[in-house]
Amino acid sequence: MNIETLARDEIFNDSLLRPYWTESSGRDINKIWLDKNENLDPELNKVIRKAFNSISIKSIYGYPDLSFLYEKLARLLDVDSHNLLLSHGSDGVIRSVFEVFINRGDKVLITSPTFIMYEIYAKIYGAQLVEVNYVASDSGPILDFDLFLNTVKKTRPKLVCFPNPDSPTGVALNEEQLQQLISACKEIGAIVLIDEAYYPFCDTTALNWINKYSNLVIARTFAKAWGLAGLRIGYAVGGKRIINLLHKVRPMYEVSSIAAEVVHKMIDYHEEVLKSVQRLKAGNDYFLDRMSKIGFSIFKGKGNFSLVKFGNYSNNIHNVLKNIVLYKQSFDHPALSGYSRFSSAPVSTMKLIANKIEEITYEDTSNE
């Protein structure tokens, strides 16, 4: 039996490649993890530990009962529980949107570079990708919003995906631009997915418009600000009609009992989460200020990460830092050429890295 002949044609797209789990080397626990935009705040970790310690044994042996979390999350967001869909991270929201709305040949408009899963799902469902590129400038990556909006109107995609802020650039639309985009998509009959994974690092949100725009879906996650990346839990917010469609393709249980119970408890500590966000933003500001004073080009985006150009010092800095911290050393896209990305951490952590970078540049200068 030739099993391959039974698979959908889209699965044989030569560019649809995924890494094998057996080839993952894992991350060194002795290094500082600033490579995946997680929340490493020690103070928030103490709160998370409290939440985990309160988990009941029923959450381990029992199947999920999620109504209690839907109700509590709805109160937090000031929406109706029917405006919500829990998911396997914000990634689960994205997949559900593609599964409900995208047929083979449909156009999907994205930025470039952006979150890789938009492209992956476009290939899985046989969509035609339309990309609007960020461009390089002396002040960092730039999105030509007029071009982006005109491309929406000209190409008339079925789905527009925009993370606000975007990743890895950190670029965000302001409230006026965001509403222009959603309105333009409604005019042409397109679904618009606004990915707010980095909320509230960036507090611009489309949440207040979910009942105004029937074509709007918002994706959020508990991975970033809430420090719960390992639980893989997020949610969709939208009008009741569009959320009802997304519910039709959800799995038997959207998330695990353990994830649901931890998030339910963490909502009680919402103010602590917001304080953690401020600590990470302060650490980010501190790090970028130090890098700027050394003379490096920086870009402060709206996410929980920063971009730095080390220029002629790049090789020496990378050689030393690779033994201390995990971070994104470089990017292939021209708009981010020369930049390295560091996830945000409290001032105490960013100070250690800034001190080491300063030592390297001082030694290089002394040896000239």
Residue 22 and residue 75 in one domain: no
Q: Which residue has the tokens 């799902």?
A: 121
Residue 255 and residue 343 in one domain: no
Residue 183 and residue 314 in one domain: no
Cut 0.85: pTM above it: yes
Which pLDDT tens digit goes with each residue over 205-245? 999 999 999 999 999 999 999 999 999 999 999 999 999 99
CATH at residue 213: 3.40.640.10
CATH at residue 320: 3.90.1150.10
Residue 118 and residue 188 in one domain: yes
Q: Which residue has the tokens 């992956």?
A: 120
Residue 192 and residue 297 in one domain: no
* Residue 160 φ then ψ, to 5°: -115, 125
Which pLDDT tens digit goes with each residue over 340-353? 999 999 999 999 99
364 — pLDDT class (breaks 50, 70, 90): low
Last residue of a domain, one of 219, 239, 269: 269
CA distances from 107 to 61, 132, 150, 158, 343 (A): 43, 13, 15, 6, 33
Last residue of a domain, one of 269, 288, 313: 269
Residue 183 and residue 65 in one domain: yes
Residue 58 and residue 174 in one domain: yes
The domain tally of the chain equals 2
For 215, the token pair is 């074509």
**Domain interval for residue 146:** 43-269
Last residue of a domain, one of 252, 269, 286: 269
Short-list 120, 139, 140, CA closest to 129: 120
Residue 187 and residue 311 in one domain: no
Residue 97 and residue 201 in one domain: yes
pLDDT of residue 367: 58
Residue 21 and residue 149 in one domain: no
For 223, the token pair is 């991975």
Mean pLDDT of 269-274: 98
Share of the chain above pLDDT 90, in %: 90
For 225, the token pair is 């600000």
Residue 256 and residue 166 in one domain: yes
